[in-house]
């Protein structure tokens, strides 16, 4: 054997030694286990972080809705005509000499979209 072949064989053996090192193998197994299979794995943390972001967004939207409703309640407490307006619009209440015509917005929008444009 020539010296080049001996050097290449030594290098190959060196790589095998490194790859078959028990500490390296156990470290790789540990990392793979922690990333994918453990109860506190990276994948589970990623899903939980996504859920937390969605919940924070929901919390923000609900707090905005709550502020709007509080303002509306305050407005109704101070103005009796506002109470009457809400009763007529939402609960379809009417005076005795009135007739109510209910127009649904979805049907109106569909009819507007279906009409041909010139």
| C-alpha to C-alpha distance for 55 and 89, rounded to whole angstroms | 32
Give the per-residue pLDDT at 37: 81
* pLDDT attached to residue 60: 96
Of the segments 17-21, 48-52, 76-80, 82-86, which one has the largest average pLDDT value?
48-52
Q: What percent of the chain has pLDDT over 90?
A: 22
Cα torsion angle, 9, 15, 17, 19, sign: negative
How much is the pLDDT for 113? 65
The SS3 of residue 98 is coil
C-alpha span between 83 and 35 (Å, rounded): 58
Per the CB < 8 A criterion, the answer to whether 93 and 87 are in contact is yes
49-74 confidence digits (pLDDT tens): 999 999 999 999 999 999 999 998 99
- Domain segments of the chain as ranges: 1-38, 44-93
């Amino acid at each position: 054997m020539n010296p080049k072949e001996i050097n290449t064989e030594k290098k190959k053996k060196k790589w095998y030694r490194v790859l078959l090192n028990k500490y390296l193998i156990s470290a790789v197994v540990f990392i793979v286990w922690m990333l994918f299979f453990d109860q506190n794995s990276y994948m589970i943390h990623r899903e939980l972080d996504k859920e937390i972001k969605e919940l924070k967004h929901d919390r923000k939207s609900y707090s905005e809705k709550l502020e709007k409703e509080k303002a509306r309640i305050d407005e109704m407490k101070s103005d009796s005509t506002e109470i009457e307006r809400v009763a007529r619009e939402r609960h379809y209440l009417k005076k005795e000499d009135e007739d109510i015509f209910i127009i649904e917005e979805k049907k109106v929008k569909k009819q507007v979209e279906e009409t041909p444009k010139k």
